[in-house]
Amino acid sequence: MAKMWNGRFKTATHPLMEAFGASISFDRELAPQDVAGSLAHANMLRAAGLLTKKEHDAVKRGLEAIAKDIAAGVFAFDPANEDIHMSIEAELTKRIGEPAKKLHTGRSRNDQVATDLRLWTREKQDALLERLRRLMLSLMDVARRERELVIPGYTHLQRAQPVLLAHHLLAYVEMFGRDRERLEDCRRRTNRLPLGAGALAGSTLPLDRDRVRRELGFDALAANSMDAVSDRDFVLETLFCLSLVAVHASRLAEDVILWTSSEFGLARLDDAWSTGSSIMPQKRNPDLLELTRGKTGRVVGSLVSLLVTVKGLPMTYNRDLQEDKEPLFDAVRTVDFVLECLAEFLPTLAFDRERAAAMLRGGFLDATVLAEYLVERGLPFRSAHEVSGSLVRLAEDTGRELRELTHEEMRAASPLIGIDVYKRLDPAKTPGSYATEGAAGPRSVSRALTAWKKRLRERAKGTART
Ligand code: ARG
């Protein structure tokens, strides 16, 4: 079949050129969006008097039938049509003849592909927002169930201070919550209509861009026709949002890998989420978590790949931009799957309470509490730090916990230490005495659980878009 731009060429395209330029193997993903865009464009052409009623009817019915066939998987893609836009238009021409030739009036594949991709991205952003919401709810379920469990909190991967496991989990809720805000913000800039920009300069025809905008549910028109066809910020922003989601998921995965190692022994992987070894019968491997960590590289790679593609592109559309789709599609698919699995997996983690209690022993995790006790009694913090340090040394040298030191021993280090200190000196009870806003104790945990429950309920309503 003759190419749509064949008019000015004498010889046929080299088969290698054809194969090299083809995007149909991956951009068929955009078929529903391409049809939706074409329908809105055709409706606008009709309203502008650029299509007769008969032509419009034929185009509309033809496009709808093609969409059906593609969705049903019975559409025969002809490799001679390099991309989804040409495939659909060529097929429409085959099916309805002359009226199909008017569909591309005032339109270029440059504004067409930008429109399709924005529609696709917007839909995926909404799906990812929901996936994130579910993962947050899943983390909150575990936090609620384990709300009493005290574990060591770490800095430098060294035991530092006692924290509630729930607080640790809720730290991820905060991260994914910010990820949602970022995605919502990015969605606002994604939701602008390029169509009507034509190849780069607009059109001399009386095209009603705002009509198309309303029909496709965009919030605004892309204001500059040249920017409209060359801008891929929305893809880059989405890839950044996804990269950060993946990085957060990767850190969560790493925490769970540590927790489920024999060395930590803090949690056990459920059979359904463990993988075995082909040689070592005893193994229980955290492949889900390792792959979550591993796939992060791929998602970040997608972001970097498109940043490099766009860098140095002259205005306006350049074919390089066709390379935006595979990284985006892959990153969306990858992150979506990671989030789905993590949300399902987390509630199956079984925490070992005895092991958690044992981990609180021997590390003098209550040493900071002792120093702050002395501060309450008027000692400057630096001196309090020193007193507490000297008692840690004494306890360590004599193989005891801080609370196993006698009152005399403590008073020798500082006369300010009263008998009431023993009420404070148990790492398992420490979180209960954290007093600051957002601290790792039960007060923050209940507050965060209540606040997030409310916010996520509101957000769910707020993001329900048509
Ligand atoms: N397949 C192309 C892409 O994905 C569509 C736009 C082609 N535009 C052009 N002027 N050749 O970017």
What gap in Å lies between CA 296 and CA 246, rounded to an integer?
A: 5
Ligand 1 test: best mutation among 3, 29, 83, 328, most atoms within 8 Å of CB? 83
Both tokens assigned to 350: 């079984």
Would you state the pLDDT for residue 7? 75
Distance, CA of 292 to CA of 298 (rounded, Å): 10
Q: Tell me the per-residue pLDDT of 341-365, one tens digit each, with 9 for 90 and over.
A: 999 999 999 999 999 999 999 899 9
Q: What is the pLDDT of residue 79?
A: 84
| Cα–ligand 1 centroid distance for 245 (angstroms) | 30
Percent of the chain past pLDDT 70, that is, above it, reads 98
Q: How far is CA 360 from CA 73, 265, 266, 370, in A?
A: 59, 13, 12, 16
Instruction: State the pLDDT at residue 278.
Output: 84
Q: Identity (one letter) of the amino acid at 412?
A: A
How far is the C-alpha of 415 from the C-alpha of 192, rounded, in Å? 70
Is the C-beta atom of 83 inside 6 A of ligand 1? yes
Q: What is the Å distance from ligand 1's center to 89 Cα?
A: 14
User: Is the backbone of residue 49 left (phi > 0), alpha (psi -120 to 50) or beta?
Assistant: left
Q: 197 alpha carbon to ligand 1 midpoint, in Å?
A: 14
The pLDDT, as a whole number, for residue 466 is 37
pLDDT at 464 > cutoff 80: no
Does the pLDDT value for residue 1 go beyond 60?
no
- Looking at residue 393, what is its pLDDT? 97
- Measured in Å, residue 257 CA sits from the centre of ligand 1 at 44
Q: Which amino acid appears at position 63 of this protein? A: L
Q: Which of 205, 197, 186 is nearest to 222 (CA)?
A: 197
Q: Is 109 in the pocket of ligand 1 (CB under 6 A)?
A: yes
Confidence of residue 238 (pLDDT cuts 50, 70, 90): very high
> Which of 30, 230, 322 best tests ligand 1's pocket when mutated (most atoms within 8 Å of CB)?
322
Supply the angle between the helices 209-216 and 31-47 in degrees, to the nearest 10. 140
User: d(Cα 395, Cα 403) in Å, to the nearest integer?
Assistant: 9
Enter the tokens of residue 72: 């049903």
Q: Using one digit for the tens of pLDDT, what is the confidence trace for 27-74?
A: 999 999 999 999 999 999 999 999 999 999 999 999 999 999 999 999
Ligand 1 atom 3: the closest Cα is on which residue? 322
Provide the β-strand partners of residue 155: 158
- Over range 193-218, report the average pLDDT: 98
Which residues, in sequence order, are bridge partners of residue 192? 220
Is the CB of residue 89 below 6 angstroms from any atom belonging to ligand 1? Answer: no
pLDDT confidence tier of residue 239, bands split at 50, 70 and 90: very high
200 has a pLDDT exceeding 60: yes
Rounded to the nearest angstrom, the distance between the alpha carbon of 300 and the centre of ligand 1 is: 25
Cis peptide before 466 (omega within 30 of 0): no
Does ligand 1 have an atom closer than 6 angstroms to the CB of 84? no
State pLDDT tens for residues 403-420.
999 999 999 999 999 999
Q: How far is the CA of 80 from the centre of ligand 1 (A)?
A: 15
| Buried/exposed 314-350: b ≥16 CB within 10 Å, e otherwise | eebbeeebbbbbbbbbbbbebbbebbebbbebbeebe
- 177, pLDDT greater than 60: yes
Is the CB of 316 within 6 Å of ligand 1?
no
Nearest alpha carbon, ligand 1 atom 2 = 322
Mean pLDDT over residues 181-210, rounded? 98
Indicate the top mutation candidate among 6, 109, 120, 318 to test ligand 1's pocket, ranked by most ligand atoms within 8 A of CB: 109
Query: Six-digit token pair at 327?
Result: 């990284």
Can you tell me the mean pLDDT for 102-125?
Answer: 98
- Residue 325 structure tokens: 């789709």
Which pLDDT value is given to residue 465?
46
Mean pLDDT of 369-379: 96
User: Is residue 370 in contact with ligand 1, taking CB distance under 6 Å?
Assistant: no
Instruction: State yes or no: is 277 an active-site residue.
Output: yes
pLDDT digits (tens, 9 = 90+) for 275-298: 888 888 888 899 999 999 999 999
Banded pLDDT at 463 (limits 50, 70, 90) = low
Cβ atoms of 32 and 73 closer than 8 Å: no
Q: Which of 139, 35, 37, 131 is nearest to 333 (CA)?
A: 131
From the list 257, 454, 430, 426, the residue with the least C-alpha distance to 345 is 257
Alpha carbon of 7 to those of 85, 319, 360: distances in Å? Answer: 19, 20, 79
**Strand 150-155 relative to strand 158-164: parallel, antiparallel, unpaired?**
antiparallel
Q: Which of 365, 47, 9 is nearest to 211 (CA)?
A: 47
User: Can you tell me which atom of ligand 1 is nearest the CA of 319?
Assistant: 12
Give the Cβ contact number of residue 2 at 10 Å: 10
Q: Give the global pTM.
A: 0.94
Q: How far is the CA of 44 from the centre of ligand 1 (A)?
A: 23
**Ligand 1 pocket test, candidate residues 111, 112, 316, 319, most atoms within 8 A of CB:** 319
Whole-number mean pLDDT of the chain?
95
Per the residue annotation, which of 25, 261, 277, 446 is the catalytic one?
277
